[in-house]
Structure 1
């Protein structure tokens, strides 16, 4: 499971994916643990981050990058400059909720 970073993707690729219609999310400078319950695709509008998978090597990305986080990945986020991103999660609200409920009972 590896994080994929594409620097400065083509506008045609972003348009084909409908990135501008995806919801956005913001995060201040901080460090926190995270689990990707489903695959996430993200287009970074602002910021700079280092995400380190548990047992893996740090991955750095920032403004203008397209990033894919695989399902099941556990990471530590270090937001170095305030983050603003478009994001898309695989599945629908029902499957996303189910994955989170399942994960909560595994703790």
Structure 2
């Protein structure tokens, strides 16, 4: 089970890296790429799967899971909104995408709430 969780962690972090990289690539023109939403949603789904596996095997840290789930959901929802609004994307939504991604990774690395 440890190997499966490790592979999922790698895929989860790669999804966030892709989403953040695509956001940086589109930051100059504020023309979001649909792949930002796909990568954010992939990271959200993988995170939910990891959370379920961890809790099923006796993992604790429910606040940690809740914080990561919140930031992942914000990033995914803001990404979808940015795709639908294109150039008219509000600044809160546009800059909320990388902020939520970075906060999600910070919570994971420093185990805030664990």
TM-score, structure 1 normalization = 0.22
Ranked by relative contact order (alpha carbons within 8 Å, sequence separation 6 or more), the top structure is: 1
Higher strand fraction (1 or 2): 1
TM-score, structure 2 normalization = 0.22
Higher helix fraction (1 or 2): 2
